[in-house]
Amino acid sequence: MTPPDRTAPRPSADPRRRIALIRLAGAALVLWAVYVGVVVLVPDAADARTASTTPLLAGVGAWIVALGLWTAAALARPGTPAAGALAHRLPWIVFFGAWFIVWQLTTVKSGLLDPPYFVAPEVLIEAFRGDWTLLARCLGSSALLFLTGYAVGSVLGFITGLLMGWSRRADYWLHPLLQTIGPVPAASLLPLAVLILPTTYASAAFIVAFGAWFPMATMTRAGVRAVPRTYIDVARTLGASESFLVRRIAIPAALPDMLTGLFTGLGTSLAALMTAELVGVDQGLAWYINWVKGWADYPRMYVGLAVLIIFCRALMILLFKLRSSLLAWQQDLVRW
């Protein structure tokens, strides 16, 4: 029997998918090239707020070159992860190309949108370049405050939920407390926290921690109580200690519920963080957004909102990565 020829070319990808990829990638490249043409060739409106377009054109030009190289690599090697990633993201790339064209035409090129409140992308870039150091300090302050409160609240929620889920006596005393104060919005406790705690920073960290504590405690309790009784009975028959049962059976079995608690607590803690920075803390992204809004500096306000969105998105991605690493066996069963 003749062995297979290892030098033979691999079978090509599905022709229909290849044609669809070429069409979408071509549309994306054309749209972004049209956007460059709109920025350069279409005159600005008389009353529009303008700024230098050089940084914008440099960034868009680099993006077009990168997209072209990405498309060429995907067409040359259609089975690679890079090709799959491009095919998955191309509809969004096309959408954003069209969005930027409409954005440019309706702001600086025509003044259709009210100029004081809506500005072109190059104005936002100018605002970011002029204020990036303050934005960086505010981002660092928000990140430190959030991570401190979120970590403390999650750990306390884990301990509370574990006690309630494992011990009936602890559940008798703690569960009514959880049901009573847990649903209270964390932001409503800020005046009390300011009254009791020594600094406004500690008060802000407290309400961020409170926002993470309730969902983490609730989901941990539910996960521990849902552990099949047969697992515990078999382990006890084999001589397992109480600490072994908790560490090796209860906690691993409840891990999916705990991560759901972390996911839910992320949103409530971020909401508490924004409230704390708006009311009690004179630093952070929410403080920055409110401060520049008071001066009617809308470009810097939009830049602050963009940084805040990126910050929240990064936290969400990190949480997804944590879930994927801890629950690799569940990736094909449940997806967030």
218-265 pLDDT, tens digit each: 999 999 999 988 888 888 888 888 889 999 999 998 999 999 999 999
Output the CATH code of domain 122-327: 1.10.3720.10
Q: Please state, rounded to an integer, the average pLDDT across all residues of the chain.
A: 90
**Which residue ranges does the chain devote to CATH 1.10.3720.10?**
122-327
d(CA 221, CA 226): 9
Higher pLDDT, 9 or 198: 198
pLDDT computed for residue 2 by the predictor: 52
d(CA 315, CA 323): 12
**Considering the entire predicted model, what is its pTM?**
0.87
pLDDT band at 330 (very low <50, low <70, confident <90, very high): low
pLDDT band at 1 (very low <50, low <70, confident <90, very high): very low
pLDDT band at 8 (very low <50, low <70, confident <90, very high): very low
pLDDT digits (tens, 9 = 90+) for 278-301: 887 788 999 999 999 999 999 999
27: number of Cβ within 10 Å: 16
pLDDT digits (tens, 9 = 90+) for 92-129: 999 999 999 999 999 999 988 877 789 999 999 999 99
pLDDT digits (tens, 9 = 90+) for 26-83: 999 999 999 999 999 999 988 888 889 999 999 999 999 999 999 999 999 888 898 9
